Homo-oligomer: A and B are copies of this chain.
Amino acid sequence: MALEFRVLKECKRTGARLGELKTPHGVINTPVFMPVGTRGTVKAMTPEELKSVGAQIILGNTYHLYLRPGHELIKRAGGLHSFMSWDRSILTDSGGFQVFSLGDLREISDEGVHFRSHIDGSGHFISPEKAVEIQNALGADIIMAFDECPPYPCDYEYARNSMEITAKWAERCLEAHRNTKTQALFGIVQGSVYKDLRKESARQITSLGFPGYAVGGLSVGEPKDIMYSMLEETVPLMPGGKPRYLMGVGSPDALIEGVIRGIDMFDCVLQTRIARNGTAMTSRGRVVVRNAVYAEDFSPLDPECDCCTCTNYSRAYIRHLLKADEILGLRLTTYHNLYFTLGLMGKIKEAILEDRLPEFRDEFFERYGY
């Protein structure tokens, strides 16, 4: 069995639950946030540092790794775990989202997607079978079905057609993956922002019997209340005994709201991306430490944080590093933002355990400034 999932506790007043997900690379306590390691590295972080912020599973991007250095090379290196020296769990996406984001550079058919590399313009073709083959070579613990992720906004007909393609591709992925027992393949629910399509997609995908399910195609530009209402339509149709993963979502508010609606897994580039732009997530909201107002602020990024960055360095120093384009600046903000987010997940778990998640949300939102 590639994956085991147990629900340990269900919140009485919300859809939230505490769970335990076991992969060949260890135990993951859910709800969990997965830092994104697009190209075989979570930007600016070592695996050791990822462990020290509490990461139990990270995400790799199939599209990027397929193009460079190539999945065959990574397979010869012993798989992605070995290649990047990360011995805990990994989830890879299917490459679908990145490929569809290429716009004019790609063409979709029932068979799959023809596209051009954003690096060198070379031509490629990814089908459901190919996406599974690449992910089998990468060797992540959890791999994702190849889906079509429609843009936002998207008309109803496009959304329905896209949902149907996603369902057919999901079956083909399952078939292609049939003989691989060490990796768990998750199905993805689509349906854009249409409630009936979300429900239909959930029924279609869950009927196929995957070991876990994702909600895809959200956080692509739609207002957050639409995202939350889509979750409310979809999650109740996803089996309670399987992990539920909300793809590409990870702002602090959406983490809390997602957990409340029954989501177990999240990933997002937000934490690491805004870190590199000089923005810290703190217990009192965002601090844009690049700003001149912090030039002589010798206090830490977040006075309530006990991470290495906040224990050792001031806002003034970090601002200086960022202004001077020093690598250490990006390291310190990235480390802090991941520590903050993993810490937030810890607090969410504690709140579920103590049956006070709604109160925790209200307190957090007030302090954070939502």
Contact = CB atoms under 8 A, between A and B. Distances in A.
A320 B45 contact: no
A43 B316 contact: no
A88 to B, nearest CB: 14
A331 B46 contact: yes
A296 interface: yes
Interface stretch (A77-85, A123-131, A140-148): A77-85
Contacts of A40: 317, 320-321, 326
Given A40-B320, A69-B319, 13 more contacts: A39-B320, A39-B324, A40-B321, A40-B326, A41-B328, A43-B326, A44-B328, A68-B320, A68-B323, A69-B320, A69-B323, A73-B316, A327-B330
Interface in A240-299: 295-296, 298
Contacts of A46: 328, 331
A73 B296 contact: yes
Give the number of copies in the complex: 2
A317 B326 CA distance: 23
A158 interface: no
A92 interface: no
B312 A77 contact: no
Interface range, A side: 35 or more
Interface of A: 39-41, 43-48, 68-69, 73, 76-78, 83-85, 295-296, 298, 308, 312-314, 316-317, 319-321, 323-324, 326-328, 330-331
Contacts of A45: 328
A27 to B, nearest CB: 23
Of listed A43, A45, A296, A324, residue having the most chain B CB within 10 A:
A324
B73 A326 contact: no
29 contacts: A39-B324, A39-B326, A40-B320, A40-B321, A40-B326, A41-B326, A41-B327, A43-B326, A43-B327, A43-B328, A45-B328, A48-B308, A68-B320, A68-B323, A68-B324, A69-B295, A69-B316, A69-B320, A69-B323, A73-B295, A73-B296, A73-B316, A76-B298, A77-B298, A78-B298, A85-B312, A85-B313, A85-B317, A331-B331
